[in-house]
Structure 1
Amino acid sequence: MASSLYSNAQHVDFESVLGMDDPGMVSMFEALVASGLRGFMGCPAVVYEDALVDFFENASVHNGVVISTVGGQLVEFSEKLFAESFELPVDGLGDLSEMPKDAIFDARSIVSLSGEPINLSGRKNQMKMPFRLLCDIVAKAISVKAGSFNAITVENFSLITVVVCGVKMNWAKYLFSILNKMVSAGSKQAKGFAIKISLLLATFPTVELGESSEFPASKILSKKTVLRFVSINDRDGAEEVTGAAKKKAVSKKRPAADVGAAVPKKKRSFKKKSVSSLELVEVAEEAIPIQQVAEPLLLETFPTVELGESSEFPASKILSKKTVLRFVSINDRDGAEEVTGAAKKKAVSKKGLCN
């Protein structure tokens, strides 16, 4: 489908947007006009879908000229034809690598929402609203590359700088080089310029273009679509700020897992102390139900069950006066040995320090 050739494209209805009540937006569009892009971005919005598909299937570049066949007819686009058709400037920078660094530095502050120079590897929500839209325009209508339209790239910001700072640009050379990349085999450049190529094909009287179709109104920047852009970006910006605030609030409340990580666990240490046999006997009396677990009382309630011979529960596992006193004796002995061992270890360590 030819619609895939302009799925991410944008066009501008300059008469509509220049009549808006938003001074910031109007100023941005006036800067686009002053840059020399009105003829390129505001030409009649007509698309010849069948001819476009034919053009891209057969297009190639030879000696700086774009050549293709449409309906069996040869068509050739030169840079001169391209410039004249869209009244593009032919003087100024032909390559973005020639962009003055001071202009980029100035533009970083001019477009900034916070007043601080924006990060060139950041996102367009760092910009004031008119320049967010300009970021979209250069990404979709000029550079026409695939990828995230929310990210700021060095190339796209250089194009923004041209418009914002009034840098002279040889748009004919630059935009024609973009067209060359679109039709070059193996290029990662997305296919685009649907309206512009349709207009160029219409200059060849022998070429059968087929039926024309109007460019989708949703992709044309008019007063209505610009206001919609502002509304969506205002909402997204508010949601992003709210989300960041919630995330910050959650981060202040350290989760239970973090608390456990922050506070080192203490090793369990058992202090053995002598307890009177009377106290332990009292504990044993309270713990009598433990002894009763072994008694087969529940099984004896079933008269039809053959239980076999019975055997006594091991006396060593029953807490009686005898076993409790044995427990005390063992633990007293272990405690004494531990204290003696600690004393010896301390004496040895002191001796080592003296040496």
Structure 2
Amino acid sequence: MASSLFSNAQHVDFDSVLEMNDPGMVAMFEALAASGLRVFLGCPAVVYEDALVDFVENASVRNGLVFSTVGGQIVKISEKLFAESFELPVEGLEELSEMPKDAIFDARSIVSLTGEQINLSGKKNQMKMPYRLLCDIVAKAISVKAGSFNAITVEKFSLMTAVVCGVKMNWAKYLFGILKKMFAAKTKQAKGFAIQISALLATFPSVELGEASEFPASKVLTKKTVLRFISINKDGAEEVSGAATKKVVSKKRTAADIEVAVPKKKRTLKKKSISSISSVEMVTVAEEAVPIQQVAESLDVEESRCSSADVVDVIIQQVLDETRAEAPADTADIEQPAVTVAKNWFDLPYEDIVKHGRQRIQWSRRVTLRRRM
């Protein structure tokens, strides 16, 4: 039963955390102490479980006071006793709705991991590490809310703003109001303040407290547990920081970047029309034009006796004869060159001769080889 009263609690060992070698964390805890919450959050971490369970089961609120019985003894807690026991400030804002908007505006940038104002309906991983821990403290040890501790709420952030921006709060009234909500009829306020209630019960000499037990070490913030918190939450912080950095330094992609990012697909050539083949070959031949004299030299001995003009005529005629007469099945898929026949080859434009020259040579060799066979 008693353990359920501090299952989500958080307590602070200020002497330990203020000795950390982490300026950001130290500064956050110093601000927390300066706000007037040092004694409330850092009182001796001792719990009287039997007395605590008795108090919670019998507690009620009457005339602005918290009444209960512990071991048959009446216990009455007032706001004044509450304030004096924990040295809480009694001046300043009494309601979070009174928090100045300009202070909230400033705090949204101060706690931000990226420097940009955080989203108040987002997650706490938008914040720098010390303020992520502060968000846990205000949720578990101050406002005592059940539910997700990763989500930012207006209430949590208003409490954080009071600490971060040094806004004066009447912590006595605010915290005592939470205590009353814990035991008021028809309220959904979670039960908490286990250490603080135990400390208050110790001020009543007639109350039998029973055996004292130490508060769970894992729920007390010391150098060790804070370092563990940083280790657990580090990955999420780096992820947000990295995403923000990418957003800030983003630049236009160059053509080279696009070429690397988008893999090229290999083009599979299918049988194309004569016009398309002709246009492709024109690009290739234009880069490596072969003089007609070299064409003649590549032919066999019989063709080498002919003049250059005769060689070209022979090639053209052989191509035409072979195409019309044979059209063999095994050459059906051969990409055949475009042929434009003039009355005399020398009437053709020079560009056409160059364009088809290489194809003629290749085709002529095939025809010659076939005849010899």
Query: When the two structures are superposed, what TM-score results if normalisation uses the length of structure 1?
Result: 0.67
The CA distance in 2 between the partners of 1:23 and 1:29, in whole Å, is 10
Q: CA deviation at 1:204?
A: 0.6
Contact 2:125 2:236 in 1 (8 A): no
The CA distance in 2 between the partners of 1:230 and 1:13, in whole Å, is 17
Determine if the alignment matches structure 1 residue 172 to structure 2 residue 172: yes
**Which residue matches 1:14?**
14
**Which residue matches 1:51?**
51
Aligned-residue RMSD, C-alpha: 1.9
Q: CA deviation at 1:180?
A: 0.4
**Which residue matches 2:89?**
89
- Structure 2, unpaired ranges of 5+: 245-260, 263-373
Q: CA deviation at 1:240?
A: 7.6
**Which residue matches 1:136?**
136
**Which residue matches 2:231?**
231
The CA distance in 2 between the partners of 1:236 and 1:114, in whole Å, is 13
**Which residue matches 1:120?**
120
Identity of aligned residues (%): 80
The CA distance in 2 between the partners of 1:188 and 1:123, in whole Å, is 23
The CA distance in 1 between the partners of 2:116 and 2:2, in whole Å, is 43
Q: Residue type matched to 1:7 in 2? A: S
The CA distance in 1 between the partners of 2:18 and 2:150, in whole Å, is 25
Q: Residue type matched to 2:163 in 1? A: V
- Structure 1, unpaired ranges of 5+: 245-251, 254-355
**Which residue matches 1:199?**
199
Task: Please list, as runs of the form range in 1=range in 2, the aligned pairs for 1:205-216 lying within 5 A after superposition.
Answer: 205-216=205-216
The CA distance in 1 between the partners of 2:175 and 2:226, in whole Å, is 24
The CA distance in 2 between the partners of 1:38 and 1:80, in whole Å, is 18
**Which residue matches 2:160?**
160
Q: Residue type matched to 1:199 in 2? A: A
Tell me the SS of whatever aligns to 1:36: helix
The CA distance in 2 between the partners of 1:6 and 1:235, in whole Å, is 28
CA offset digits 1:81-103 (Å, max 9, x no partner): 00000000000001101110000
Q: CA deviation at 1:236?
A: 4.0
Q: CA deviation at 1:129?
A: 0.3
**Which residue matches 2:75?**
75
The CA distance in 2 between the partners of 1:235 and 1:150, in whole Å, is 14
Task: Specify whether residues 118 and 78 from structure 1 end up closer, same or farther in structure 2 by C-alpha distance, changes over 3 A only.
Answer: same
The CA distance in 2 between the partners of 1:41 and 1:119, in whole Å, is 28
The structure number with the bigger radius of gyration is 2
Determine if the alignment matches structure 1 residue 42 to structure 2 residue 42: yes
Q: Which runs of 4+ in 1 moved over 6 A?
A: 239-244
The CA distance in 2 between the partners of 1:207 and 1:115, in whole Å, is 52
Q: Residue type matched to 1:206 in 2? A: S
